[in-house]
């Protein structure tokens, strides 16, 4: 019925005023992949609100088992594109793991992640944390409060294990960033040892997002970093406490991207523009009128074919609040951002940050000049495609011209030190200087050899 209605709308466009400029599509039947996380919302909204239909696109959305299966699907062509970890197109393009040239013409969102610890760990941390006049623990919480917990575990002969969703995920890098900012070594990678646990004090390993709460409850891990709704799920199940959101870690940090193969974009330029147009409209819908559509978005995402978590769990973070300890619900209106603050524009500086974290922890084994970071960022992030799609929407009267950074050179202004938990600012134009400024992590010509850092 949905497709019949879409076909009817297309055939009657001759006699009805058109709201969108129909492109000459090279391919109009598409399959996109996603993982069951709330930040896949732009894809679900573009489908459910008819924005794909408006562009003449017949889209199928398919949940994927894990991030590797999703990436392999885009590379093989069984998926035409996908909701991706921002690190995936970059890692694939530089040949870390599976090698393939993947690009992103659209960033999915800002923020949206958290770090959760088990009840046992929380009870050990809590007495050491400052409390405000309201009797609630003050935020943000530094990972330094975790140091004595790790020492206690070690004294009992137990490793301190934490979960993250994928080696090149934002969650891995954010968890490492938080730990390192608190003086805890999160471990290194080397070409010979890709566990990421070399010289680690906290041992990080991969757990798929929907399995995080069950793995925590089983005691296999003592904490994790993941996107929603899986932090709030731990609160609802009474098995853990989120200790920090990534908004507190780094205000308005970049998160997921929409990834396609470079060959798909080359062979289907108009189709690519049409997809980006639909996604821009979806992102705008999610944020417009002070998040007025978020309740409807929660209804959509709670369906089993999308995220499939309980509606109230998804709403807990998607509608402008976030619950930490049970009953400690706070206003966090920017926990999920899909359009504000140029959230959907693919900035080179975002790509460079991910590359610096790959270098910081040894996934990029050797030092690279600043020019290399710039070149890789420009080979993967495609703001020109994004802005061409945005210009079409402006001309069609569907978006506001003021909502796009038309004159940007692709780099955001440096992130001020006050917006990042360790008080160290970030300038994407100077990646090596940024790496030098971080107390823990590889810098300069340092390399990982065996279990040691040399250089």
Q: pLDDT digits over 255-265, tens only? A: 999 999 999 99
**Residue 243 per-residue DSSP state:** E
- Greatest pairwise CA separation for the chain in angstroms: 77
Give me Rg for the CA atoms of the chain: 22
Calculated CA dihedral for residues 102, 107, 110, 111, nearest 10 degrees: -30
Reading phi first (left if > 0) and then psi (alpha if -120 to 50, else beta), residue 190 is in beta
Q: How many CB atoms lie within 10 A of CB 237?
A: 13
Q: pLDDT digits over 150-193, tens only? A: 999 999 999 999 999 999 999 999 999 999 999 999 999 999 99
Confidence (pLDDT) at 122: 98
Q: pLDDT digits over 112-150, tens only? A: 999 999 999 999 999 999 999 999 999 999 999 999 999
Domain 113-252 CATH assignment equals 3.40.190.10: yes
Phi, psi of 173, deg, nearest 5: -70, -35
Provide the pLDDT confidence category of residue 364 given band limits of 50, 70 and 90.
very high
Of 393, 429, 387, 426, nearest to 405 by C-alpha is 387
**Rounded to two decimals, what is the model's pTM?**
0.94
Q: Are 405 and 376 in contact (CB under 8 A)?
A: no
The average pLDDT across 409-430 equals 97
Of 349, 297, 321, 316, nearest to 40 by C-alpha is 297
Residue percentage of the chain with pLDDT more than 90: 94
Confidence (pLDDT) at 314: 96
As a whole number of angstroms, the distance between CA 227 and CA 236 comes to 15
Residue 313 has pLDDT above 50, yes or no: yes
Question: With the C-alpha atoms ordered 89, 358, 438, 143, is the resulting torsion angle positive or negative?
Answer: positive
Confidence (pLDDT) at 22: 87
Domain with CATH 3.40.190.10 in the chain: 21-111+254-403, 113-252
Provide the pLDDT confidence category of residue 21 given band limits of 50, 70 and 90.
low
Provide the pLDDT confidence category of residue 19 given band limits of 50, 70 and 90.
low
Residue percentage of the chain with pLDDT more than 70: 95
Write down the architecture of domain 21-111+254-403 according to CATH.
3-Layer(aba) Sandwich (3.40)
| N-term to C-term CA, the chain | 64
Over the chain, what is the mean pLDDT? 94
Calculated CA dihedral for residues 48, 52, 54, 58, nearest 10 degrees: -100
Q: pLDDT digits over 66-81, tens only? A: 999 999 999 999 999 9
Calculated CA dihedral for residues 256, 49, 293, 412, nearest 10 degrees: 30
Residue 2 has pLDDT above 50, yes or no: no
Q: How many CB atoms lie within 10 A of CB 3?
A: 9
Residue 299 has pLDDT above 50, yes or no: yes
Provide the pLDDT confidence category of residue 10 given band limits of 50, 70 and 90.
very low
Of 441, 448, 450, nearest to 184 by C-alpha is 441
Q: pLDDT digits over 180-228, tens only? A: 999 999 999 999 999 999 999 999 999 999 899 999 999 999 999 999 9
Q: Are 198 and 446 in contact (CB under 8 A)?
A: no
Q: Are 73 and 64 in contact (CB under 8 A)?
A: yes
């Amino acid at each position: 019925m949905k497709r019949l209605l879409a076909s009817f709308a297309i055939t009657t466009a001759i006699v009805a005023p058109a709201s969108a400029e129909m492109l000459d599509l090279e391919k109009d039947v598409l399959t996109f992949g996603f993982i069951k996380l709330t930040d896949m919302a732009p894809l679900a909204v573009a489908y459910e609100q008819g924005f794909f239909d408006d562009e003449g696109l017949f889209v199928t959305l398919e949940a994927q088992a894990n991030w590797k299966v999703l990436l392999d699907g885009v590379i093989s062509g069984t998926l035409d594109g996908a909701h991706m970890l921002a690190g995936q197109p970059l890692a694939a393009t530089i040949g870390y793991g599976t090698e393939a040239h993947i690009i992103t013409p659209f960033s999915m969102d800002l923020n949206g992640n958290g770090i959760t610890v088990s009840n046992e760990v929380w009870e050990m941390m809590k007495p050491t944390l400052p409390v405000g006049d309201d009797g609630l623990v003050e935020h943000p919480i530094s990972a330094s409060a975790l140091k004595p917990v790790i020492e206690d575990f070690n004294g009992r002969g137990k490793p301190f294990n934490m979960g993250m969703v994928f080696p090149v995920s934002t969650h891995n890098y954010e968890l490492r960033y938080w730990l390192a900012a608190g003086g805890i070594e999160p471990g290194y990678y080397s070409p010979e040892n890709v566990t990421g646990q070399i010289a680690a004090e906290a041992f990080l390993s991969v757990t798929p997002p929907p399995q995080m709460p069950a793995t925590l409850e089983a005691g296999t891990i003592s904490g994790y970093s993941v996107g929603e709704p899986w932090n709030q799920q731990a609160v609802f199940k009474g098995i853990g406490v989120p200790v920090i959101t990534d908004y507190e870690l780094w205000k308005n940090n970049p998160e997921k991207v929409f990834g396609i193969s470079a060959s798909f974009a080359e062979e289907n330029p108009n189709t690519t523009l049409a997809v980006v147009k639909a996604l821009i409209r979806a992102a705008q819908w999610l944020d417009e009128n002070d998040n007025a559509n978020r309740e409807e978005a929660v209804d959509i995402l709670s369906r089993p074919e999308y995220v499939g978590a309980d509606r109230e769990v998804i709403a807990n973070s998607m509608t402008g609040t976030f619950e930490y300890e049970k009953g400690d619900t706070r206003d966090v209106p920017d926990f999920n951002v899909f359009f504000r603050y140029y959230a959907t524009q693919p900035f080179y500086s975002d790509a460079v940050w991910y590359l610096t974290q790959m270098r910081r922890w040894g996934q990029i084994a050797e030092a690279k000049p600043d020019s290399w970071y710039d070149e890789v960022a420009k080979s993967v992030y495609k703001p020109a495609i994004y802005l061409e799609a945005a210009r079409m929407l402006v001309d069609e009267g569907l978006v506001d011209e003021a909502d796009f950074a038309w004159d940007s050179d692709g780099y955001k202004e440096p992130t001020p030190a006050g917006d990042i938990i360790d008080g160290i600012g970030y300038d994407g134009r100077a990646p090596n200087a940024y790496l030098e400024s971080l107390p823990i992590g590889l810098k300069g010509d340092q390399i990982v050899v065996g279990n040691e850092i040399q250089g």
